[in-house]
Amino acid sequence: MVANGPDSFVWWSWVADHTDDIRARTIEHLQLTGSSVAIGFVIAMAMALVSLRWRRTYAPLAAIAGGLYSIPSLALFGFLVPLTGLGFRTAQIALVSYTLLILLRNIVSGIDGVPAAVIEAADGMGYEPWRRFLAVDLRLATPTIIGGLRVATVTVIGLVTVAALVGSGGYGTFIEDGLSRARGFSTPIVVGGSLSIVMAVAFDIAFALLQRAVTPWARRGAAP
């Protein structure tokens, strides 16, 4: 590039000057994504266990998760600000609430999808219910559950960019920063936007590989 300056689409010396910033925002983005998905997973697993044990609770639990999911993120972040203030915690609560529906659905359908014959065989071999659940049901549901984690993680990475609005850090900070500046300075927007896309694609690929790794039977072409 010949003339690279503040007016260029990407001003490389700005990028070079902000490597520390980029590192800090990356860590924030990862922390917020990781902790939200992890907390969401624990809650969704508890909800799934309840709804598998007492079938009737599944519809209302799914409806609650679905209701949370349908609130627009901008509004949900806004709702929480008066209650929990600006910052990491507020963003986290909103993000966790978005993971619940995806994770709950995948955990339940994964465990539901375990063939009855496999369960009977395990029972016949003398597995106790809880050991069978952990060693057979959960093991066979793992690919579906990882699929849920994959969608939840990728979705959350995108939403974290919006969460910067409530002061939670992450790549969205660059985007907000760029949007609030004078026209013609697009570098922070491009940097923030592309980094979040790269992170989302990287996690998508990583989870796809993990899914393959935990289903060796699928590659051998044999039924589980």
Partner 1 sequence: MIQDAIDYLTDSSSWWGRNGLVNLTWNHLRLSGTAVLAAVLVAIPPAVYLGHLRRGGLLAITLVNLSRALPTFAVIAFVFPLSLQYGFGLGFWPTFVALFLLALPPIFVNAYTGVSEIGRDVVEAARAMGMRERDVLRRVELPAALPLLVTGIRVSAVQVVATTTLGALVGFRCLGTPILQAIATRNDGQLIVAAVLVAVLSLLTEATFGVLGGRLTPWARSRTIETKTSVQHAA
Q: Residues interacting with partner 1, by CB under 8 A? A: 9, 69-79, 81-82, 98, 101-102, 105, 109, 151, 154-155, 157-159, 161-162, 165-166, 171-172, 175, 178-179, 183-186, 189-190, 192-194, 196-197, 200-201, 204
Q: How far is the CB of 63 from partner 1 (least distance, A)?
A: 13
User: Do the beta carbons of residue 166 and residue 91 sit within 8 Å?
Assistant: yes
Q: How far is the CB of 105 from partner 1 (least distance, A)?
A: 7
Of the two residues 4 and 131, which places its CB atom closer to partner 1 in the complex?
4
Of the two residues 98 and 133, which places its CB atom closer to partner 1 in the complex?
98
Enumerate helices (H) and strands (E) in the chain, giving the number of each: 11, 0
As given in the structure block, the two tokens for residue 99 are 């993971």
Of the two residues 38 and 74, which places its CB atom closer to partner 1 in the complex?
74
Contacts of 41 (CB under 8 A, 6+ apart): 99, 103, 149, 152
Q: How far is the CB of 185 from partner 1 (least distance, A)?
A: 8
User: Do the beta carbons of residue 183 and residue 98 sit within 8 Å?
Assistant: no
Of the two residues 122 and 195, which places its CB atom closer to partner 1 in the complex?
195
Residues listed for the chain: 224
Sign, Cα dihedral of 192, 193, 196, 202: negative
